[in-house]
Structure 1
Amino acid sequence: MSVSGENTTEELEQFRKLFIGGLNYTTTNDSLKEFFEKWGEIVDVVVMKDPVTKRSRGFGFITYSKSSMVDDAMANRPHKIDGREVETKRAVPRDDIDKPDIAWTVKKMFVSGIKEQTEEELREYFGQYGNILNLQIVTDKETGQRKGFGFIEFDDSDAVDKAVLIKSHEVCGNKLEVKKAVSKDVASAARGHRGGRGIGSGRGQAWRGHNNNWGGNSFGGYGGGSSGGWAQGGPQGWNNVWGSQSNQRGWGNGGGNWGGSQSGYGGGPMRGNFGNNRAVPYHTGRGGGNFHQNSRGRY
């Protein structure tokens, strides 16, 4: 069986980076580094600050020297820093920020491109990302023929986050694409509750049994708004964590929200080694510097 991606891409920075949300305002670069270095060597750390007030924005990023250290840190959740439990997630590359499903916190993922792979082969491959609870290869109810897609449910949302960071997966010579699976009911609920901290959140909110009817009787496919279809839209409560400097709607502003109304939590700037000069590290859309922040939360 071919296992692609892991050997060739695991040391790219995007696989070594963590987003830390809900930080205590007193948490500094040094205290954040001190806490997370118990799981490995940290090459970069930053607590994001308001460029005007210099006050903590309540979130930051950690970059390890090896991706396995991220796995160790995530395996030891929850984390409590300076008296406050924080939200730890794998950081999202800037190119993926606008993907509608990227911000969801779910334990179930959609897999497309399935051909002749058996359930056992899929379990063997995707089992490297976490403990699989359920795996379903979808077939036509009348003919029994495969529809080319399926679903995998893990016991931890981090397994899904890790799998979707890889653009494509090769299993038995065929490429498979993965996305976070979100029922239409959950997507609709999220749109009606802006400012939430993600759907699911490990508390079983996302999957309420068969009544959600994943795709209805026809399994109308992933995406689109047709009856029985799948919702690809991200929760409206996750906006640009970088935020508008005028309203500061990101992490740590007292409301405990991820942000305003659209994008994901962000991937953070891809930086060099810990201790680099940060004279002008993060810009707010007024020109200059390498990491330009715009209204969509990218850099």
Structure 2
Amino acid sequence: MAEEQEQFRKLFIGGLSSETTEESLRNYYKQWGKLISCEIIRDHASKRSRGFGFVTFSSMAEVDAAMAARPHSIDGKTIAPKRAVPREESGQRGVFLTVKKLFVGGIEDTEEHHLRYYFEKYGKIDAIEIITDRDLWWWTTWIWIDKRIFSFLFYMDLTI
């Protein structure tokens, strides 16, 4: 159970500078919570950084907070944090897929800021597209839509 829990508290950190140390990585990520471990992966022979590492937080909420604060930059380089996937699962189909588009239907008289306010708790929203009756002319030849407004939300990272 603890091992299963750990996978949800761990981030893969890609794109690290060769100058980044475990100490600088730890100092950067501790702003979002208590770190259980921090590791930069190194080449076995040369001992040089391979440009990625892992940080493990004490709770999933801390991981969520760190992910919500992206983009991140350490030692002058923008890095790419992602939720870590256990090695045994990394070969499974669909493991690395990230949902980035969400359909919201049956909404009336809703403005973009209302959607953003409600749905931003699931991740950073990149764009919102609200489809109105006047946008539906091409839909009506294919399916029946009863004058409801719907929307697509485009996320940078959607966590459900």
Task: For residues 184-241 of structure 1, give each alpha carbon's deviation from its aligned partner in whole angstroms, at most 9, with x where no partner exists.
Answer: xxxxxxxxxxxxxxxxxxxxxxxxxxxxxxxxxxxxxxxxxxxxxxxxxxxxxxxxxx
Aligned-partner residue type, residue 69 of structure 2 = N
Q: Secondary structure at the match of 1:96?
A: coil
| Structure 2 contact 12–82 (Cα < 8 Å) conserved | yes
Q: Distance in 1 between matches of 2:106 and 2:59?
A: 31
Q: Higher relative contact order by CA 8 Å / sep ≥ 6: 1 or 2?
A: 2
Task: Give 1:158 shift.
Answer: 2.1
After superposition, where does 1:111-126 map in structure 2 within 5 Å? Answer: none
Are 2:68 and 1:84 aligned?
no
Q: TM-score if structure 1 supplies the norm length?
A: 0.37
Task: Give 1:101 shift.
Answer: 3.0
Q: Cα gap change, 1:61/1:157 in structure 2, threshold over 3 Å: closer, same or farther?
A: same
Residue equivalent to 2:58: 65
Q: Percent identity?
A: 42
Number of residues paired by the alignment?
A: 129
Aligned-partner residue type, residue 10 of structure 2 = K
Q: Cα gap change, 1:76/1:52 in structure 2, threshold over 3 Å: closer, same or farther?
A: same
Q: Secondary structure at the match of 2:52?
A: strand
Task: Give 1:103 shift.
Answer: 3.1
Pairwise CA RMSD: 3.4
Task: Give 1:12 shift.
Answer: 1.2
Q: Secondary structure at the match of 1:53?
A: coil
Task: Give 1:90 shift.
Answer: 1.1
Q: Would you tell me which structure has more helix in proportion to its own residues?
A: 2
Q: Secondary structure at the match of 1:158?
A: coil
Q: Distance in 2 between matches of 1:13 and 1:43?
A: 10
After superposition, where does 1:162-201 map in structure 2 within 5 Å? Answer: 162-163=159-160
Task: Give 1:143 shift.
Answer: 9.7
Are 2:42 and 1:49 aligned?
yes
Are 2:129 and 1:130 aligned?
no
Instruction: For structure 2, list consecutive stretches of 5 or more residues without a partner in the other structure.
Output: 108-114, 130-141, 146-150
Residue equivalent to 2:157: 158
After superposition, where does 1:1-299 map in structure 2 within 5 Å? Answer: 12-104=5-97, 107-108=100-101, 130=122, 133=128, 154-159=153-158, 162-163=159-160
Instruction: For structure 1, list consecutive stretches of 5 or more residues without a partner in the other structure.
Output: 1-8, 111-117, 135-140, 145-151, 164-299
Q: Distance in 2 between matches of 1:39 and 1:66?
A: 10
Task: Give 1:142 shift.
Answer: 7.0
Q: Secondary structure at the match of 1:103?
A: coil
Q: Would you tell me which structure has more strand in proportion to its own residues?
A: 2
Q: Secondary structure at the match of 1:94?
A: coil
| Structure 2 contact 101–155 (Cα < 8 Å) conserved | no
Moved segments of 4+, more than 4 Å: 131-134, 141-144
Task: Give 1:75 shift.
Answer: 1.3
| Structure 2 contact 14–81 (Cα < 8 Å) conserved | yes
